Amino acid sequence: MTPYIVLSAILFAIGATTVLVRRNSIVVFMGIELMLNAANLSFVAFAKLNAAIEGQLAAFFVMVVAAAEVVVGLAIIVSVFRSRRSVSVDDENLMRH
């Protein structure tokens, strides 16, 4: 089980670094999805370790929420791109005016 947890931690760290460093909102969005998948891997690994179904159930619900997030997030990104012709995270602050 340890390799799965280590892999999950590495994937989460890569996703968190992507979210903190990148300015393109699509790449930031992919970093968030990578972090969610790392959490899913942890849930399933710990569920397998404890011989319980709750971790797999939690991973399933995270996948459902992630699918809804993808739909809403990409719709917002496409809408911003159509109006601003940019998907930079720095430009999103201009929407307040």
Domain positions in the chain are: 2-88
pTM of the entire predicted model: 0.80
pLDDT tens digits, 4-48: 999 999 999 999 999 999 888 888 889 999 999 999 999 999 998
Q: Which of 70, 69, 91, 66 is nearest to 80 (CA)?
A: 91
Q: How many Cα neighbours within 13 Å face the side chain of 3?
A: 0
- Range 2-88: architecture per CATH: Orthogonal Bundle (1.10)
The Cα angle at residue 93 between residues 22 and 13, in degrees rounded to 5: 25
Q: Which of 39, 33, 30, 32 is nearest to 5 (CA)?
A: 39
Q: Which amino acid is it at 45? A: A
